[in-house]
Amino acid sequence: MEVAEHPEIAPHTVLSPGGDSAGQPPPDIAADPGRMAFWSKLHGKQNAEIDSWGKVYELNGCGKKTVYVCAHPTVLDVASGNGYIVGNNSTTANDTVISAVQCLPDLKELFAKVHAVVAQAQVAAANARAMANEAMNQPGSAELRAKGCTQVVIADATKTDPTSGVVNVICRVDGATPPPACDDLAHTYVASGSAPTTLKMLNISTYGPGQMTPSCSKMYGATGAPYVYHPPS
């Protein structure tokens, strides 16, 4: 492992997510001399405080280079011969600092990883919305809404596992009208011709306004008749 100090690199450029580019003023401020002077003074002070905090070092080993800003230790001598340090990873002996280093990595790489995670989360959220929208607009949804369902969710498990033969249907009703009967919805879904050809079990559940438990929840076979389990012979 090799460690090299880089006095030519200002710590604030390492600890700022955008490096030197983060120190550029917005166009409207840059165009106003008065505001620009105030902005430069403020940011110059902030950068100077960060730069006085530590030094920049590069660690090179195991085929990888990493830049760190390592803070100067702060020693407080609260009693003669009993100094101590404010910081992380410190070791002291009486008033002698044996080791005291608090290092922060180059945040540009960290923020790049954070942005990547956020982007992945956004993609996952978009996929979830797409899946939810697809579930609410599956074939047969229109026919079930015509029977009185305000919201219909059809989860066709045969799309990911054709051998499952399972379709789950949820019907939710808003307002004072009670939910349709499960038997009626089962016959309607099968009659719509929307059921997969491999359908073996159709699960129907209905919910009234604000209900957490279903008004009815039943299982049906491929014809819409109540499901009857036939154990293998």
Q: How far is CA 40 from the centre of its chain?
A: 36
Statement to judge: residues 211 and 143 lie in one domain:
yes
Statement to judge: residues 99 and 144 lie in one domain:
no
Residue at a domain's end among 71, 93, 109 = 109
Q: Residue 100: helix, strand or coil by DSSP? A: strand
Say whether pLDDT at 19 is over 50. no
For 18, residues 6+ apart whose C-beta sits below 8 A from its C-beta are 108
Over residues 63-74, the pLDDT tens digits come to 777 777 777 655
**Mean predicted lDDT score pLDDT of the chain:** 77
Q: Which residue range forms the structural domain that includes residue 33?
A: 2-109
Residue 115: CB atoms within 10 A of its CB come to 11
For residue 217, what pLDDT band results from cuts at 50, 70 and 90?
A: very high
> What's the number of domains the chain is made of?
2
CA distance 84 to 110: 31
Statement to judge: residues 8 and 57 lie in one domain:
yes
Please give the model's pTM, rounded to 2 decimal places. Answer: 0.45
CB 187 within 8 A of CB 204: no
